[in-house]
Structure 1
Amino acid sequence: MAIPLSGSLLDACVLAVVRKGDVYGYRLTQEVREALEISESTLYPVLRRLQKEGCLCTYDEPYQGRNRRYYQITELGHAKYDAFLEEWTMYKDKVDRVLMGGNNNE
């Protein structure tokens, strides 16, 4: 089973970063950019969708006279991350077998 590399991979990367600890949007973008080329304008709709799906929640903290919005992973977000990780592992193993010249039916 192949997973789509666009939306699902971005969701998985976002959840992976947030599961390490609460994080604000700009910092989250910087960490996800280490793996994928994305802009803040691409990331914020993903964050809103994950929040609407119940995978993330938010809270605001004052920072230098303004509020900074932090994202926090929920139980549902942890479960979704675990499912992504399982799918990714299966996908990666299949690709590794093809790239290394192995048999896909092993």
Structure 2
Amino acid sequence: MRAEVLKGHVDLLLLAVLADEPAHGYRIVELLRERSNDVLDLAEGTVYPALYRLERQGVVTSSWSTVEGRRRRVYRLTRRGVRELAERRRAWEDFTGAVRAVLS
């Protein structure tokens, strides 16, 4: 998918993935790819800065864990993140509904 199409929607996608389960960065990339049938193949260089930004905003929190001897930073939604995701989903539905109306 072209990068300009995703611009402005990466945060929503990350929040949606984290709503289902806490995950480390590479797992988030995998989940986005799997759920989108390989359409969304975001680079880690896109995902990690967005995760750091979301953490600074207080909608995501992270902690270190060790799995099979490897340290990983695991991200999860905060309560504020759950509310933010709900608001962004509503805005997305409004937007896509309007675009659908124009295109039909």
Partner residue in 2 for 1:89: 93
1:64 aligns with 2:68: yes
The residue correspondences of 1:45-60 to structure 2 (distance < 5 A) are: 45-60=49-64
Higher relative contact order (CA 8 A, sep 6+): 1
Q: Out of 72, 80, 83, which is 1:79 matched to?
A: 83
Task: Write the distance in 1 (CA, Å) between the matches of 2:32 and 2:10.
Answer: 8
Percent sequence identity is: 31
| Alpha-carbon distance in structure 2 between the residues aligned to 1:18 and 1:55 | 11
CA distance in 1, matches of 2:6, 2:93: 13
Alignment of 1:1-106 (within 5 A): 6-7=7-8, 9-33=9-33, 34=36, 36-100=40-104
Q: CA deviation at 1:23?
A: 0.8
Higher helix share: 2
Q: Which runs of 5+ in 1 are unaligned?
A: 101-106
CA distance in structure 1 between the partners assigned to 2:40 and 2:66 by the alignment: 29
- C-alpha separation in 2, matches of 1:65 and 1:31: 22
TM-score, normalising length: structure 1: 0.82
* Cα distance in 1 between the residues matched to 2:32 and 2:56: 20
The CA deviation at 1:37 is 3.7
Letter in 2 for 1:83: E
1:15-74 Cα deviation digits (max 9, x unpaired): 000010111110101222335342001110000000010011111211121211110100
Question: What CA RMSD, in Å, does the superposition of the two structures yield over aligned residues?
Answer: 1.6
Tell me the TM-score normalized by structure 2. Answer: 0.84
Q: Secondary structure at the match of 1:36?
A: coil
